[in-house]
A and B are shown apart, each in its own frame.
Chain A
């Protein structure tokens, strides 16, 4: 398929309103305003659009669940993109910000909200400035504000800057953060559709999800469902990074295979190296091995293969990667980003990291491997949000596929695969 979401991102001034209007911008909003709000939700439902943030939950259902009896309602756009390996929303907001603004406005119209908050991660300061400028332009041309295009519909879009917390990407933690508190998850239910921002009905949607909404309206449900496999329709952005020749964001239908993405779009591993493993959906999903890549990169196909599409962050690892080091690197991340609310996760990630560190530097014992499994099983499923499950995945998946590397570290009392891209100082020396 031809790119839709990022078709023009490499062209000059793609982020300006004039450019966007010249390429059919805000036509979808005009179409939407001629329909009833319920029709918008029905269209999104019929399109089969699934949330692009990671869970793949149908967006139309999410919008339908929003309690229409209670007011005010809110659209909250999750632009906290912080899953390691993910950088698609970054590109979308930086080079095609009006698509998101339009998506927010249509979303608000659909669920009957008057305000959309875009929660952007604090590190994306330069992206925020692009987005705010786009919003100002949209207000000036009457695409946002009071009585939009004479329809009587009012909509405000505000950007809210986070301040460095991975956990703010979890939808209820994001709402807490937006309310001016620590980004810590809430107990569910109630789900945000019933009691979200300020306890009011809210829809929390990822940037790419909202960017798909104008596409559904302008290209039609029929076109949208025809792209990609059944129940995995529409254009999808893939972030390929790691040990590849040509890393980047690639747009394809979900019929594309993982191997096409890694070897085709991203140019394969660098000369003289061989592929060791691929993480298909961000740091918190199980690893796939090179012989497992001939599957569709869709939510359903990857799940069937024992992993998850997640945020479509494909991290490619070549034969220089030590898997114990990898688990240690990711557990450093999870230990640092654990919000601290649930004890198993707060304490457990620290323990896992310490054990992995000692194995990596050559001080591990064989019993540590059972300890890692035991601790992991005491974290997964025992926390308020999915963070706990995510945090133990790098440990369990490397133990499953690369147990021999762990054992070699313990036997030889050193890291058996010290790559030249790593620091000269041993791990933990800093």
Chain B
């Protein structure tokens, strides 16, 4: 059902299109995450605990890999809001996953400055390497490839974000090699973005 007979919605129409989350296994924060949650909630006025919904969901996603209906229930109970309130947020923001993702989520920036510097070729190289289409997880379940919108490092285009680590000025050949490196060496292959590398160097040599 769409607003126009010739403009049918496709599967990717809107990011907030409602999809029911999996129930998933029983969920509760680990003691460590619970402590961090209590720490975070203190930043907001006591009657505004709802403000902590994004950090609370990040904790849940970090603990379990993706957001399930049980995780939503847990977060809702802790914040004193309804499950619908939490689901509303989960379904809106693109950085919460409602399906299992690979150990490495490869986010390729596809917006203008990256695109005109070859981001489409980077996506192609990665997808060919993993035999997937954007949005899919590879057969081994290790890599999920996503095309994302502007990451805000356009001077170092094309940019690829793997989990929380950035790789910049990444040409198609280097992107394919990064996949090999990640397979061989795991997280250690994530060198991070230019500035983080620079910072590590500062801390090692600087005073």
Contacts and interface: CB of A to CB of B under 8 A. Distances in A.
Given A123-B107, A123-B148, 20 more contacts: A15-B199, A81-B152, A160-B43, A160-B55, A161-B55, A163-B54, A163-B57, A163-B93, A180-B50, A183-B92, A241-B154, A241-B155, A242-B154, A243-B116, A329-B111, A333-B149, A421-B117, A421-B118, A421-B121, A422-B115
Q: Give the interface size class of chain B.
A: 35 or more
Contacts of B201: 12
A84 B154 contact: yes
B185 interface: no
Nearest to B203: A13
A277 B115 CA distance: 16
Interface in B1-37: 2-4, 7, 9, 13-16
Interface stretch (A103-111, A210-218, A345-353, A396-404): A345-353
Contacts of B196: 126
B152 A182 contact: no
Contacts of A243: 116-117
Interface of B: 2-4, 7, 9, 13-16, 43, 45, 48, 50-55, 57-58, 79, 81, 85, 88-89, 92-96, 107, 110-113, 115-118, 120-121, 123-124, 133-134, 147-157, 161, 164-166, 192-193, 195-196, 199, 201-203, 205-207
A177 B95 CA distance: 14
6 smallest beta-carbon distances between A and B, as pairs: A423-B120, A163-B93, A180-B50, A164-B94, A241-B154, A164-B95
A87 B112 contact: no
A163 B58 contact: yes
B120 A421 contact: yes
Interface in A328-379: 329-330, 332-333, 336-340, 343, 346-347, 350-351, 354
B154 A178 contact: no
A84 B51 contact: no
Nearest to B14: A340
Given A13-B202, A13-B207, A430-B133, A180 B54 contact: yes
